[in-house]
Structure 1
């Protein structure tokens, strides 16, 4: 069927959303749609301001809004390349239902559940990567960019059991108008879901219980009027407490008890047949089963055993009750079963709706789906379990022709119906604590359709629990809750400063949140080792060494690559280190030289009052006094050094000093007069005999030192040598002479 066109009135202002539920047995694609919130407000006015957007099927009529492929996505763990051909029919169906002009605005989600959770992190990452690549490059639907959530952000990922329960809670309260309650103390419905592997519960505790409760999830939704509603929801899951895994634990327990009893009483028996009576099977039904994880040490406990049904529902209730593990330690009271903390539940206020196995076990054979009455439920279960298996099969054949049980009831359902019914009753009443409604005067005549009226007559209001599959023509599914959240995100807020609506996973406040996102690691050494462990000697396995040899080899490889990179760059590293060290040494020596010459590090001379009086300076002062030189011409400050820029400018201009420095140098300086070129200054001083001597002073930044030697390449050694020699006094040079030759 081609997608609707723009001239279709149903399509006007319609938005679409697609969810692929990638379960363990298959992947189901569901297309949802809703009207744009702005258009709805214009058409219906303020009367819809207190409601959520109306999420409907993605087609105007028919059942083409949903399609399914088998097997599950997890079956491609060893062959990720096959994901493309597997998902192609689902993608083609979505393209055929959503108009091409709206596909770029239509969000597409592939959210994997139980089957993908059982894979190794490496297998999960490979399958998700192939899935993301196919969906992103073979469709025009809106898919998130890469993020810490996965290669396609939140569009393609694995969700936890808690997320399933939370989305299911949103779906139930959306369909039952739990969010649109106008009472002063609005109450929402609780949500129960049970599959083959796990069971979940999600509900909103009472206000007084929320203050003392931990791990509550903040759910924010935006109504059509722009107002936000906030609910704090508790959600948890029990892994291993679904019907299938509970049956596996039951069989293992029965075989272990049988083998323990057999070892005590029949230790010398050679009987090879192992027959165990099973009250949870219809009378006369024989099944050959083996324990999944035997705990008994004997070889008999690992072999198949024959379980023969005795058809006693009451005994089945007693035998399955210990599987709840009610005696497990409770670290954070209160706990329901298996030591899992759950806030107190007030069933007079909180009313629960159960889906999946709660519905199948009630409706498919007993016909008691809907409002729940434990007395009638147990009566129907007792009648069914007490029937002979042959009569059950005959009735099954008649129902296929007459439609009593319908085509949904298959032989595996008939075999496990007695056990599943007992498990449902134990979980509801002994596990969760749902109170039993006992009315000795009315239980004999009640039926499923009158339970709600009787509960109201007894002052109980709505039934505390009811099983449901759909409301109207919309099935109750966690995928519906996901789409309600997406439709709520598109409602314009009342204020521009309002924070956007996000998934509860993204709004989880802290690390104690029960919703732990599943993030496949970059490298999984255990998975790599499992692939090659059969080729390794037993002495090199993880169990023998105590650590992962693959991980150890990886770290050795990283260290080797780092060492090779360092060796290849050793010359550059060595020269860089030398430059740093020499720069530090030059600075240190320059500081020492400046301190000996009485100069500041910035090139300026120290003020004379602060110049330290050394023994050499005192001796020199006495000699000047003896020579009769004026006190004003005694030791003066050294000339202010020129900057390198001025020196460079002078050299570039080609100028040279008009005065040559006399080869007779003194180890002290006189007051100087700056020449025109800024290089040499001179003073006329008395020579001690009535004459005068022209003395030239040397500028410290000149390429020549005061002794006339040239500083080669700015050698630090020459500066050090000069600094040390300059402190020595040449007494003979200080004596005044009668004549000084100027020709030299």
Structure 2
């Protein structure tokens, strides 16, 4: 009877320990939690080869989160010295050489072990589009030279190409809304959700040779060719986007000079109402008509010079600018932007960046200002003479300072009379950055080419923390060992 009691007692102990082991095993399997696996930081490089200059952007993110959102940061940006790569038409190899300083900066910022895993892209915009219209083989040669330079670095080079106008607008739209977490948002509880109250923001980009508008229309679009369709994180978006080639800031100012020269007739002394009173500049006709955006006279001597003298006349400046933009021809009136281009009514909030921001920041009007304040500020600026302007802004180069009046009037013309923001001016914010990342097409371009925005909603990675798994495993093994030990003791006792 005593032996039977001992066996019963130890048998119960074995059963109890076995049950505890089983419960621990179940708990360890059930207690898997969502976690972020400890992957290393990854990097990506995009070179924005614009019409007036090139800029390098270095982005970084955690490797395990490349299909999520709101986690990419801009590690650095670097402005390439000199003009845009299209300006090297007389010396294509120099276009590649110009990139080396910024590529060296990026290389120094990336750990050596990550160099080969870092994708690098170069996208060229309207400046190279214009060069391609004039001389496609020359444009191709310049792209070959910049590609050769980037390939000489230990990065994962994935191509240098001219991005089309629709891509430029759409990628800017993606960049803004990605950074604002408008597509998908990470909650405090660790879930990815589509923000019900999330606002999709429109994009207004103004470069040197082209300008873009992109937004989600409220109503049915009449021209399906004007939209791009995206499926991002399980949701579909129809985005109206249009790029106006030849209507970037630099080309618009060149158009203005050509218009004033044409209206002046045979005179070589030309009044320029947008230049400050007292500012004078001489321009050769070769310089004036060196762009396909400007209509050339039938016969002209490229060596002849014209002299532009500033008169500082704000109202005449505005009317002159309106003469270089076609604001009347519209087959689908009133649904038009300018130059007869179809555009549905603007909808929602907009971020205006690039030259929009730089001009309005200089005038003290960024990120927002009442329309009446904007108009009066521009008027006051345009009335200042050259002596006053240079005294007030000693650090600003004359080649930029002379154009702020014309640039401001041009912006107001395309926004109010072109895109029709008359009744929704307060919906525009003039911004440079979102979440410490420069706004532009480059981030959206990289997100697209690296497939970092999935069409399906993101799924959580499941598992347990390594230390937690180790503790649970030790407990299970210990319980099993203890059970076996008791069984062995029972065997020897019996």
Q: TM-score, normalised by structure 1?
A: 0.49
Is it true that 1:465 corresponds to 2:463 in the alignment?
no
**Alignment check: 8 A CA contact 2:327 2:340 kept:** yes
1:175 to 175, 179, 185: 179
2:443 to 475, 480, 489: 480
Say if 1:93 and 1:308 are closer, same or farther in 2 by CA, change over 3 A: closer
1:373 to 366, 370, 373: 370
Is it true that 1:123 corresponds to 2:129 in the alignment?
no
Equivalent residues in 2 for 1:367-446, closer than 5 Å: 367-397=364-394, 407=395, 409-436=396-423
Say if 1:305 and 1:212 are closer, same or farther in 2 by CA, change over 3 A: closer
User: How far did 1:376 drift?
Assistant: 0.7
Corresponding position of 2:306: 305
The 2-side partners of 1:143 and 1:242 are apart by: 29
Is it true that 1:142 corresponds to 2:156 in the alignment?
yes
The 2-side partners of 1:428 and 1:157 are apart by: 30
**Alignment check: 8 A CA contact 2:259 2:324 kept:** no
Corresponding position of 1:651: none
- Could you give the per-residue CA deviations for residues 7-66 of structure 1, whole angstroms, max 9, x where no partner exists? xxxx9532211112223444322210112345x99xxxxxxxxx62411123xxxx5x53
Query: In structure 2, the residue corresponding to 1:199 is in which secondary structure?
Result: strand
**Alignment check: 8 A CA contact 1:55 1:484 kept:** no
Say if 1:26 and 1:253 are closer, same or farther in 2 by CA, change over 3 A: closer
1:360 to 358, 363, 368: 358
- Could you give the per-residue CA deviations for residues 659-686 of structure 1, whole angstroms, max 9, x where no partner exists? xxxxxxxxxxxxxxxxxxxxxxxxxxxx
Corresponding position of 1:284: 278
- Could you give the per-residue CA deviations for residues 384-418 of structure 1, whole angstroms, max 9, x where no partner exists? 11122222222233xxxxxxxxx4x3212221111
Unaligned 5+ segments in structure 1 are: 1-10, 42-50, 145-154, 223-227, 263-272, 398-406, 438-454, 456-462, 497-744
Query: In structure 2, the residue corresponding to 1:483 is in which secondary structure?
Result: helix
Say if 1:363 and 1:192 are closer, same or farther in 2 by CA, change over 3 A: same
Q: Is the deviation greater in 156-165 or in 121-130?
A: 121-130
The 1-side partners of 2:448 and 2:421 are apart by: 30
Is it true that 1:57 corresponds to 2:74 in the alignment?
yes
User: How far did 1:333 drift?
Assistant: 7.7
Is it true that 1:27 corresponds to 2:54 in the alignment?
yes
**Alignment check: 8 A CA contact 1:198 1:240 kept:** yes
Corresponding position of 1:606: none
The 2-side partners of 1:16 and 1:99 are apart by: 10
Say if 1:82 and 1:312 are closer, same or farther in 2 by CA, change over 3 A: closer
2:116 to 76, 97, 104: 104
Q: TM-score, normalised by structure 2?
A: 0.72
Query: In structure 1, the residue corresponding to 2:327 is in which secondary structure?
Result: coil
The 1-side partners of 2:393 and 2:148 are apart by: 47
User: How far did 1:301 drift?
Assistant: 12
Query: In structure 1, the residue corresponding to 2:183 is in which secondary structure?
Result: coil
Report how many aligned residue pairs link the two structures.
Answer: 406
**Alignment check: 8 A CA contact 2:184 2:195 kept:** no
Query: In structure 2, the residue corresponding to 1:306 is in which secondary structure?
Result: strand
Corresponding position of 1:237: 243
- Could you give the per-residue CA deviations for residues 147-197 of structure 1, whole angstroms, max 9, x where no partner exists? xxxxxxxx3211123222211111111233332486657541111111222
User: How far did 1:491 drift?
Assistant: 6.4
Say if 1:343 and 1:298 are closer, same or farther in 2 by CA, change over 3 A: same
The 2-side partners of 1:470 and 1:495 are apart by: 26
The 2-side partners of 1:296 and 1:357 are apart by: 30
Say what the alpha-carbon RMSD is for the aligned residues.
3.5
Unaligned 5+ segments in structure 2 are: 1-37, 186-193, 460-494
Equivalent residues in 2 for 1:266-285, closer than 5 Å: 274-285=268-279
User: How far did 1:116 drift?
Assistant: 2.6
Which one has a bigger Cα radius of gyration? 1
User: How far did 1:428 drift?
Assistant: 0.7
Corresponding position of 2:262: 256
